[in-house]
Structure 1
Amino acid sequence: MNKKPLIAAAVILLAGAAALAWWLQRTPDARSELVLYGNIDIRQVSLAFNGSERIARLAVEEGDPVKAGQVLGQLDIRTLQLRAEQSRAQIAVAQQALARLQTGSRPEEVAQSRSQVAAAEADAKLAQQQLERVQSIGQSTGGRAVSQQDLDAAQARRKVAQAQLENARKAQQLVVTGPRKEDIAQAQAQLEASRAALALLDHQIAESTLKAPIDAVVRARLMEPGDMASPQRPVYTLAITDPKWVRAYVAEADLGRIRPGMAARLVTDSHPDQPLEGRIGYISSVAEFTPKTVQTEELRSSLVYEVRVLAEDAGDRLRLGMPATVRIALDADGDAARNGQRP
């Protein structure tokens, strides 16, 4: 009997058993590890100038890393600077007007008002004396030496002099009392309005400098020097390098096996032998149908939940949209819900 076929069959069976054992040892148990497929996602910022002036310069290009507070661009501020100078001049005028009202009347003005009162008193006294003289002559002559017209003229001159005296006294009182408090308040309000206008211009000048709000990488440069900027037109799009996460989807049957904070390992096609550490940061509370772009082992439509796995990417290897595989080590019994933990 030929034993060679039996020996060959035995060798093949042993090799197959060894290969199966090696594969079972290499392939993780589905109860001890959950594998998800998704894509790298990051936050982005669209930066625009707050003003509507012409762009004077832009400092960075696509791909340049930027730090928080770094100057990225500058508007032409010559018009704003001229308006600020005009506002400063208006403030100086308002300050002088307010100081004049707060100081009140000068001693020379008070002395002048007193002199005017004295002159008016003298005129009134003279007019009174002339009237009395005309009346005395008329009484002594029986009205023959003085006409009624002369008498009326003397009486009118006395009334005019009395009115002028009263006017001079009122003017002296105003000079001594000084400006009204309402006039001082109005001048103060005008000064504050001028200062507010200057503060607004200074703010606009400060806002004409575009700065990075956070550490990031320039993803797109959308405008160039000479373009007219506006708050509605972004100049740069920045990609925030931290945090980065994998947007994946977990089936409803596996939802109870994971929870926020669980450790995970991320593998990309560009670095399959260099996995990154991560953790589950967010699990959606709303179910949705499987998106067309999601990568799952079962290509069928089903209800899934979005999961965000935060990645520790110190080497900045991950890029927006990059496919990634997430491996999550489960609890000993393979079910987080059994331990009283809820996703």
Structure 2
Amino acid sequence: MFSRSLPIITLLSFLLVTGCSPDSDWAMSGTIEADELPIAAETGGKVITLLTDEGAPVKQGQIVAKIDDSTLRLQVDEARAYLDQAAAKLEEAKAGTRDQSLRQGAAQVQQAEANVAQTQARSRQAKANYQRAEEQLQQATAQLEGAKRSLAYQQARQDEITRLYQDGAVTKRDYEAQQEAVSQARTQVEQLTAQVSAARSQADSAKSEMDAAQAQIGMARSQASDAAARLDLLQEGSTSYTLKALLAAETQARARLGIAELQAEQANIAAPHDGVILRRNVSQGEVVKPGSALFTMMKNDSLKLKVYIPEADLGKLKAGQPVEVAVDAYPGERFGGTISFISDKAEFTPKHIETRDERTKMVFAVTITLKDGLDRLKPGMPADVFLTEGGREK
């Protein structure tokens, strides 16, 4: 997208006469702008890696961020399994039905049903493990909170005992006993903190196992359904309609695999053009939606400058006319540019022009595309524009 900020403009004299010296060049002032492009996520998920930062140069196609693709990779595996099954069923239907195939089909149905039962059992066990880990985490967290309250109490008690001991109101034995109580309470907090961290890790691991087991149930059921349908097909024999249906199923499975692979590849976020990163809009670990802008970049070859000219001087410029640009950062040096656009609609001089007379003038926007100094000029630099000697109208 293009920067919408209105540059600070100063309209100076327009001196286009024959034989003008370089010191009397016609000059305008503005601010250098650049085309800004978002680097957006094509798929949603958690940002696991950011490979560049603000101000860093990037090349077109360079990977700048990665989104967690573990679920997408599982979808690729699932789609590939569907394709293998569809291709196998189509090939067998073309080969014809044999008694041995019928026995194999029946065995596959039994095996698939057994797999469903096993995955369901694993899922129940994983769910129980997760619930137990959550209970342990809650218990450890509650104990930690209690230990923290106890430590706070003992520390407050130590402050009181210290004052009493300094006043001679308690014995040294009582003072040292209270110090030991604080030390024990602090040790208890440290131990319980470690237990909470371990319990949280166990709960996260158990949750992952539970989710994986649940996904395996769906796959096992799908395999069982496919095995049953395959056995029915073997028992009935293959007709031309059946072959067409199997061919369509294989085509669909192949397309499904292609989509899954494309989505998995989209988890790698690449720069759309050569340029420089201007802003980083997300942090590592943040969950983003499809279309979210992770970075904002500037294209290397897109520096422009917008200035305004009075209506009376509009006929002295034309598109394609060469100009020179000077900035304060490089005194005595000028950079080449070209007038790329002249607005066909007039507008009032921007409000920040100071005098009342200047505010009432009608001006036209002129866009200048910079050709030189793209590696040194930066967006936001104030710049003066001069007509070159070769571009001066006589």
Distance in 1 of aligned mates of 2:69 and 2:253? 20
Answering whether residue 252 of structure 2 is matched by residue 189 of structure 1, we say: no
The amino acid of 1:45's aligned partner reads L
1:276 aligns with 2:268: no
Does 228-237 or 196-205 show the bigger shift?
Answer: 228-237
Moved >6 Å (runs of 4+): 294-298, 330-333
What is residue 310 of structure 2 aligned with on the other side? 251
Question: 1:321: Cα distance to partner?
Answer: 2.5
1:74 alignment partner, one of 58, 66, 71: 66
Going by fraction, where is helix more abundant, 1 or 2?
A: 2
Contact 1:98 1:187 survives alignment (8 Å) = yes
Question: Residue type matched to 2:48 in 1?
Answer: A
RMSD over aligned CA atoms reads 3.2
Confirm or deny that 1:323 pairs with 2:315. no
CA distance in 1, matches of 2:371, 2:360: 31
Indicate conservation of the 8 Å contact 1:258/1:330, yes or no. Answer: no
| In 2, Cα distance between equivalents of 1:287 and 1:278 | 23
Q: Is 1:247–1:309's contact at 8 Å kept on the other side of the alignment? A: yes
Report the counterpart of residue 53 of structure 2 in structure 1.
Answer: 61
Using the alignment, how far apart are the partners of 1:305 and 1:28 within structure 2?
Answer: 14
Note if 1:239 corresponds to 2:239. no
Unaligned runs of 5+ in 1: 1-26, 110-174, 336-343
DSSP 3-state at the match of 1:299: helix
After TM superposition, the structure 1 = structure 2 runs for residues 217-232 of structure 1, keeping only pairs within 5 Å, are 217-232=276-291
Where structure 2 has 5 or more consecutive residues not aligned to the other structure, the ranges are 1-12, 102-233
- 1:79 aligned counterpart, secondary structure: helix
Instruction: Report the CA distance shift for 1:330/1:289 in structure 2 as closer, same or farther (over 3 A).
Output: farther
Match of 1:306 among 365, 378, 382: 365
Partners of 1:67 and 1:295 in 2: how far apart? 43
Structure 1 length-normalised TM: 0.64
1:85 — aligned with what? 77
Kept in 1: contact 2:335–2:373 (CA 8 A): no
The one-character-per-residue Cα deviations of 1:26-45 (angstroms, maximum 9, x if unpaired) are x9954354322211111001
Decide whether the 8 Å contact of 1:54 with 1:229 is kept in 2: yes
* 1:94-173 superposed matches below 5 A: 94-106=86-98
Shift of 1:332: 9.3
| TM-score for both structures, normalised by structure 2 | 0.57
User: Of the candidates 15, 24, 32, which is equivalent to residue 40 of structure 1?
Assistant: 32
The answer for the alignment partner of 1:49 in structure 2 is 41
Give the % identical residues.
28
Using a 3 Å threshold, how does the CA distance of structure 1 residues 334 and 312 change in structure 2: closer, same or farther?
A: closer
Q: 1:235 to 1:106 in 2, by over 3 A?
A: same
Flag the structure with larger Rg. 1
Deviations 1:37-81 (Å, cap 9, x if unpaired)? 211111001111111111110100110011111110111111111
Task: Please list the CA deviations of residues 108-141 of structure 1 after superposition, one character each: whole Å capped at 9, or x if unmatched.
Answer: 89xxxxxxxxxxxxxxxxxxxxxxxxxxxxxxxx
Would you say how many aligned residue pairs link Structure 1 and Structure 2? 246
The CA distance in 2 between the partners of 1:201 and 1:334, in whole Å, is 61
Q: 1:88 to 1:180 in 2, by over 3 A?
A: same
* C-alpha distance in structure 2 between counterparts of 1:105 and 1:65, whole Å: 63
